[in-house]
Structure 1
Amino acid sequence: MTRTALPLAVGLAALVTTGAQGAPSPIPAPAVARPVPTAPEAFPSTYRPLPSVQTAIVNASILTAAGDRIDHGTVVMDGGKIIAVGADVTAPAGAKIIDGTDKWVTPGVIDAHSHLGVFPAPGVQGHADGNENIDPYTAHVWAEHSIWPQDPVFNKARAGGVTTLLILPGSANLFGGRGVAVKNVPSVTEQAMKFPGAPSVLKMACGENPKGRYGSRGRAPATRMGEVAGFRKAWIDAAEYARKWDAYEKKQASGGAGEAPKRDLGLETMAGVLKGKILVQNHCYRADEMAVMIDVSKEFGYKTRAFHHAVEAYKIADLLRENDICVATWATRWGFKMEAYDGIEENTAILAKKGVCVAIHSDEQRLTQRLNVESAVALAAGRRAGIDISEAEAVKWFTLNPAKVMGIADKTGSLEVGKNADVVLWSRDPFSVYAIAEKVFIDGALVQDAENPAGNYRSDFELGQPNGDI
């Protein structure tokens, strides 16, 4: 309808009404933009650091993951943060002193691909909560809603120096759901472990797992081409969902009215990826499949944070570097299924030499206790192939680079002033199979002490087992 200008007197008369007493009512104020209401954060972290005291580890060999090795160095922790690190640092008066002579210090170990708590020990059907394997599209589920904090392997991981983990859904589905970063602290609730400020992630999976799961049931996807078609269809739906919400919020912000679109938890997660708020962690083994998934991400405008397992990543190292995509992998695991047939122990070293951010992950309960040793396997394999990488660089594979995968490298992963005091004191060179994590600190609090095993935490489940056996 075309609007025509009214004469001034008529226009004012139209804006003024007469009240019950005959007095004119005030002219209404013009509409102004009002903020779009925001819902409270769902399932917020309730994590609070454990009590700590100012502590200095002195005269140790230090691998900071931020520079060269420091010999006869000191690390000072206070208020949950690293406040000093170096060879010329003097321990503050009154600090608790720990003698690091002949010992080594690293940042806390970080596992960027874990299923602790969602596939806890003991491994029985009643505990199998990591795969919502009833549909290939389950972006609506959140791993944190399955985490059992009493999983005794959290304690065993802590004994291996693990201070932070990314807990992911399994790989049965194209879209497995959201993952969550947790602090490896004793807890009764998952919220009290949840890493404050860490971004959410979306687990995706390509290759043998989804097509095998659903193809065997006579359902799609039954092939790799069916998987890619499924990804593309889902992203088309997510983009449309995001557009509807953008249009609604824009209208609300300008003072308009209208009913909000109905929330869809799966599309909401995927829309968060398209807006850059949720990080994609993609289970993918073969080089050709990773290249295809990079093309899918470019078609729909999202970014893959890391390819996980990625045993053929060495074949496309340049492509991964150019697209700023990390790799989370193992050193070993050759041939345990067809898509692992070209896995080689030199994978990590080749990627690192090419400038790719690479992390050593676990994916299971035993390896999470020995990520330093798995890194040593990768380091040795590289050196045998003529790729000479220093320990000062390789320590990033189980500290800083996993933090990058998880989007928390500004908070943890290296021994730098101002970062969280997540620290491990090792009995010897951490790349030795004989190294023991003697003392483990999370936010400056001593959470594991090999010299005082009686004082270490045992979950309620362990307390019910003879000698803590599981």
Structure 2
Amino acid sequence: MTMMKALIAATSALALAGCATTGSANTASSADKDDAPRFAAKTEAEGPFPSTYSPYPGEATALVGATVFDGAGKRIDNGTVLFRDGKVVAVGASDLSTEGFRVIDAAGKFVTPGIIDIHSHLGDYPSPSVPAHSDGNEATAPTTPDVWAEHSVWPQDPGFSRALANGGITALQILPGSANLMGGRSVTLKNVPSRTVQGMKFPGAPYGFKMACGENPKRVYGGRGRKPSTRMGNFAVNRQTWYDAINYANEENPKRDLGKETLKGVLEGEILVHNHCYRADEMALVMDMAKEVGYRVSAFHHAVESYKIGDLLREDDVCSAIWADWYGFKMEAYDGILENAALLQQAGACVVIHSDSENDIQRLNQEAAKAQAAGARMGIEISDAATIGWITLNAAKAMGIDEMTGSLEEGKMADIVLWNGDPLSVYSRPDKVWIDGALMYDAQDPKRRPVSDFELGQQGEGDVK
């Protein structure tokens, strides 16, 4: 077979030489095409599953007279927010000109950036919660960096529209579950109705990479008599997997490996690490491991003991994505305290309030308020404007989309919530929600309340008229 290939190559070379003497360029071009592979998949750089998201139509709008929290720590009383063509045009006082804008009287109401949930499983664990819908954990090996959460997302999950209407959620990160040390890629979505997950995919958002430490992976695989079955086993498997990925990344033309391709993206800083981790000592070890093999952690998720190492997290610029008050449901959650967020804020570390729940995603504003109140009770005063940042700009920062959204600043996406009252009050809820300047929810207009196809029901034969 090798001799035959050599003969073919030699024959081709002679043919090309003959063509050159006759000045025929077309034949040479044809030979070049023949040398190309017959079949080739898209490369990672070409983006095999690109976003097809396109903003819904909107109109130039001015919100006038509201209390404005810009997400970046600023409060404006009797403020004005202008947006047009999907972008924020200006944010300021009542003297901003509204000429050319549809004016909405927002007196007595509040405006914030769209709420962002950094940790969601909507679509991968959709409603109704039945075994057939359980698509978030590829629990077949301790490391599965080859899987992508978006390939499980069901766009018809009714949880998306509930998160929009009740929680003002405009963007969210869908993560694989935490059965595995390396669970796979996450995907960031715009919270809009779409027939496909690609139609929801946030354009320009980097991929995330879900990792997990502690009880979950050692329980899942140790229970099967496999490695890892201990915390030291967790680290050993992780480290060896990273060493193998480094070797792959250093090869010139390696055989394509989807898992190592993702890990290479992490090492290159193009894919952001989101690490499920509860205990402070393990978070410190993970940061050391990251330095050992050459990546960085963008955020620790759940992180109930972050308050113990706030200084270390600040120095390494690692965010803590946490609950307001979940604790004690397993041993590694035993030392969770209500003041976690407040102590982190006091230490100058990055705080994000997340949901990990199809219910809590509908009230992240209230969860943030609970964490703020816990701090106040121990004498740590955190402003309302800073607290709003926990569910807007800080989340966007940890997800790598803060240049595009997360705060009300000129040129950023017009992802905006108009609340009927103080968003940190249990009595308040979204009045209107815009995504890229398009009005996607209006509490006063039933036609602006997205309903999943799945919720429309079925029509039996006996119902046909």
Indicate whether the TM-score tops 0.5.
yes
Change (3 A) 1:23 1:378: closer
Q: Which one of 230, 247, 259 corresponds to residue 266 of structure 1?
A: 259
Between the two proteins, what is the percent identity of the paired residues?
Answer: 60
- Which amino acid letter does the alignment assign opposite residue 82 of structure 2? V
SS in 2 for 1:282: strand
Aligned-pair CA distance for 1:68: 2.4
SS in 1 for 2:46: coil
1:412-457: per-residue Cα shift (whole Å, max 9, x none)? 0000000000000001110000111010000000001111134311
User: Are 2:279 and 1:286 equivalent residues in the alignment?
Assistant: yes
1:325-370: per-residue Cα shift (whole Å, max 9, x none)? 1110001112011111000111001111111111000001000000
Aligned-pair CA distance for 1:41: 1.2
- Which amino acid letter does the alignment assign opposite residue 148 of structure 2? W
1:61 match: 67
Mapping 1:131-280, distance limit 5 Å:
131-159=137-165, 160-244=167-251, 248=252, 260-280=253-273
User: Are 2:315 and 1:322 equivalent residues in the alignment?
Assistant: yes
Q: Which one of 407, 426, 437 corresponds to residue 430 of structure 2?
A: 437
| 1:56/1:91 contact within 8 Å kept | no
Aligned-pair CA distance for 1:94: 3.4
User: Are 2:89 and 1:83 equivalent residues in the alignment?
Assistant: yes
Change (3 A) 1:229 1:71: same
Q: Which one of 337, 341, 344 corresponds to residue 348 of structure 1?
A: 341
Change (3 A) 1:152 1:24: closer
| 2:67/2:109 contact within 8 Å kept | yes
2:372 match: 379
Change (3 A) 1:422 1:455: closer
Q: Which one of 369, 392, 405 corresponds to residue 399 of structure 1?
A: 392
Aligned residues: 427
Over aligned residues, Cα RMSD in angstroms? Answer: 2.1
Change (3 A) 1:236 1:89: farther
2:37 match: none
User: Are 2:436 and 1:448 equivalent residues in the alignment?
Assistant: no
Gaps of 5+ in 2: 1-16, 24-41, 460-465
| 1:158/1:448 contact within 8 Å kept | yes
1:93, 1:272 → 2: CA distance? Answer: 47
Name whichever of 48-57 and 64-73 sits farther off.
64-73
1:93, 1:139 → 2: CA distance? Answer: 52
Name whichever of 89-98 and 446-455 sits farther off.
89-98
2:233, 2:369 → 1: CA distance? Answer: 39
- Which amino acid letter does the alignment assign opposite residue 337 of structure 1? K
Gaps of 5+ in 1: 1-18, 26-36, 249-259
1:411, 1:230 → 2: CA distance? Answer: 36
| 1:74/1:91 contact within 8 Å kept | no
Aligned-pair CA distance for 1:21: 12
Aligned-pair CA distance for 1:67: 3.9
2:72, 2:409 → 1: CA distance? Answer: 7
1:279, 1:351 → 2: CA distance? Answer: 21
Q: Which one of 116, 134, 141 corresponds to residue 110 of structure 1?
A: 116
| 1:58/1:91 contact within 8 Å kept | no
- Which amino acid letter does the alignment assign opposite residue 178 of structure 1? R
